[in-house]
Amino acid sequence: MSDNQQNQLWGGRFSESTDAFVQAFTASVGFDRRMYRQDIQGSQAHATMLAEAGVLTGEERDAIIQGLDEIRAEIEAGEFEWSVALEDVHMNIEARLTDKIGITGKKLHTGRSRNDQVATDIRLWLRDEIDLIDGEMERLMTGLLDQAEREAATIMPGFTHLQTAQPVTFGHHLLAWFEMLKRDRERLADCRKRVNRMPLGAAALAGTTYPIIRERTRELLGFDEVCENSLDAVSDRDFAIEFCALAALCVTHLSRISEELVLWTSAQFNFIDLPDRFCTGSSIMPQKKNPDVPELVRGKTGRLNGHLIALLTLMKSQPLAYNKDNQEDKEPLFDAVDTLAGCLRAFADMIPAIEPNREVMREAARRGFATATDLADYLVRKGVAFRDAHEIVGKAVALGLEKKKDLSDMSLAELRQFSDQIDDDVFEVLTLEGSVSARDHIGGTAPDQVRAAVKRGRDALR
C-alpha cells in the first residue's frame, strides 16, 4: 500500500505524506482494534439508518452490511491485516470494506465523522464490559452470601485499631464485605446509565446536513438516549472518568478485604486457609505459602487510582470540541476495565474456597477481654450509670491482666469486689455466644440477624 493509498481517507488537502515516525506515534490501531465488534456494529446501524433516510439505496446498505460481516469474520479468524498507516480501527475497517465492495464502501462515512464514531464505539464497548463486570460482581457477592450463611454462628474477634474489640461472627464480617460491593454494584449500574447515550449523529462537532434519523440509530444500537449537544457529544469523556472512579473505589474495597486475608492467613492469626491454587511458594524457604492473589489485588489499587488521575488530567484543559488528546483516553480505560474484571474474577473464584479455622477464631475472641462492653451494659441494666460502669469494668480488666484471666474465667467473688450489682446471671452475658446473640437487631452480629441479612442480600441480587 503506497503512502497516497494509506492517506486516501483524509489526505486530499495534504501535499506530502505523513512522516513515518509521526505516523507510528499518532496511530492508535495497536490498542483500539479491540473495539472492532462495536465499530462494525455502529457502522451497520449507521448504514441501515442512511438507507431508511434515503441517503443510501437498499442494495448499497446490503453490500455494506454483508461486507462488514465478512470483515468481522476475517478479524476473528486472525486473517485481517491491521495497518499502522491507516491509524485506527475505524479507518482500517473502512479501507478493507472499500477494497471488498468498491466505491459503495466509501459511502458508509456519509453523515458521520471519526469524532462521533469513536465516541460511539467507546460507549458501546464500555457498555458491554460493564455488563460482564456486573456478572463477576454478582458471582463474588453470591459467594460471600453463601459463606456468610455457612458461618452465621462462627465466632471471631471484631477489631478496632486492629485490637480486639468485641466478639462478632465470621458471617457478619463477610456481610460487611458484601455491603461494600453492593454499593459498588449500585455505582456500576448508575454509571451504565450515562454510558448508554449515543453520540452518533454529532458528526465532527456541529451535526450534519444529511437527513439522518438519530432516534432510529439509537434504537438499532440499544442506547437509552441520544447525546443532545453535538459539541459535547464528541468531546465528552465523563463516562470514562466515572467508570475509572468506581473501579478505583471497588478495588479499594477489594484491597481492604485483601489486607484482612493476608493478615488472617499468617501464622500469627491463622484464622483462615486459602487453597493452594490461590497461593505460591518461596524459591528459598520451602515452608512458605504466600497469599499472592490478595496481595496482587491490593497492589493493583494504585494502578487504578493512577488511571483515574490520568483521565482527569487529560480532560482538565481541553477546549471544545474534539482534540487529539482524547486518543489517550483508551489505554487507561481499557486497562481499568481489564484490571477490575480480573480482580473480581479472582475474588469470585477464591472467596467460596476460604476455609475458616473456627476454633482458632473462637480462641482469639476469648483473648483481649472482648466481652468487656457486655459487662458494662449488664451493669447499666442494673441501674449503674454508664461512666461508672465503664470504670468498674476497667478495674476488672486490670485484675484480669494481672491474673491472666479473661472476664468469663473470673469467679463471681472476683467480679463482685468491683460492684455488688454483679450476680450469677453475669456469666450469661460474658460468654461469647451470649455476647453475639444479644446484638439481635438489623445490622447486628447475632446469628439470626446474619441469616436474615443473607436472605435480604439474595433478594437484592435477583
Q: Is residue 408's pLDDT more than 90?
A: no
Collapse the DSSP code of 126 into the 3-class scheme (helix H, G, I; strand E, B; otherwise coil) and give the result: helix
CA-to-CA distance for 119 and 322, rounded, in angstroms? 10
203 to each of 44, 110, 448, how far by Cα in Å?
16, 9, 59
Q: What is the chain's length?
A: 462
Which class for 208: exposed (0-12), middle (13-18), buried (19 or more C-beta within 10 A)?
A: middle
In a domain, 283, yes or no: yes
In a domain, 296, yes or no: yes
| CA R_g for the chain | 31
pLDDT class of 10 with cuts at 50, 70, 90: low
352 plus 388 within the same structural domain: no
Q: Is residue 11's pLDDT more than 80?
A: no
What is the average pLDDT across 346-365?
96
Catalytic residue (one of 2, 161, 317, 441):
161
Least confident of 6-20, 56-70, 383-397: 6-20
Contact predicate 84/27, CB 8 Å = yes
Q: Is residue 350's pLDDT more than 80?
A: yes
Active site annotation includes 161: yes
271 plus 419 within the same structural domain: no
Number of domains in the chain: 3
Q: Is residue 131's pLDDT more than 60?
A: yes
CATH code, domain carrying 354: 1.20.200.10
305 plus 404 within the same structural domain: no
Q: What is the DSSP letter of 284?
A: S
Least confident of 16-20, 142-146, 414-418, 435-439: 16-20
Active site annotation includes 283: no
What is the average pLDDT across 335-345?
98
178 plus 308 within the same structural domain: yes
- Specify the pTM: 0.92
pLDDT class of 84 with cuts at 50, 70, 90: very high
120 plus 223 within the same structural domain: yes
pLDDT at 14: 66
**Domain boundary at 110, 137, 154, which?**
110
Beta strands in 231-380 (DSSP E): 272-273, 355-356
pLDDT at 15: 64
CA-to-CA distance for 447 and 127, rounded, in angstroms? 39
pLDDT at 5: 45
Least confident of 9-18, 217-226, 300-309, 444-453: 9-18
pLDDT class of 3 with cuts at 50, 70, 90: very low
pLDDT at 9: 59
Least confident of 74-88, 105-119, 299-313, 366-380: 366-380
214 plus 326 within the same structural domain: yes
357 plus 445 within the same structural domain: no
Share of the chain above pLDDT 90, in %: 84
- Domain containing residue 448: 368-461
341 plus 388 within the same structural domain: no
In a domain, 149, yes or no: yes
The type of residue at 20 is A
In a domain, 435, yes or no: yes
In a domain, 315, yes or no: yes
**Domain boundary at 309, 341, 362, which?**
362
Average pLDDT of the residues of the chain? 94
pLDDT at 17: 73
In a domain, 11, yes or no: no
What is the average pLDDT across 342-349?
97
CA-to-CA distance for 91 and 100, rounded, in angstroms? 14
Instruction: Write out pLDDT tens, residues 186-245.
Output: 999 999 999 999 999 999 999 999 999 999 999 999 999 999 999 999 999 999 999 999
244 plus 98 within the same structural domain: no
User: What are φ and ψ of residue 452, in 5° steps?
Assistant: -65, -40
In a domain, 1, yes or no: no
215 plus 348 within the same structural domain: yes
**Domain boundary at 362, 388, 422, which?**
362
pLDDT at 26: 79
257 plus 358 within the same structural domain: yes
pLDDT at 2: 42
What would the DSSP string read from start to end of 46-84? Answer: HHHHHHHTTSS-HHHHHHHHHHHHHHHHHHHTT-----G
CATH code, domain carrying 377: 1.10.40.30
pLDDT at 176: 98
In a domain, 13, yes or no: no
Instruction: Write out pLDDT tens, residues 15-65.
Output: 667 778 888 887 899 999 999 999 999 999 999 999 999 999 999 999 999
Q: Is residue 259's pLDDT more than 60?
A: yes
321 plus 224 within the same structural domain: yes
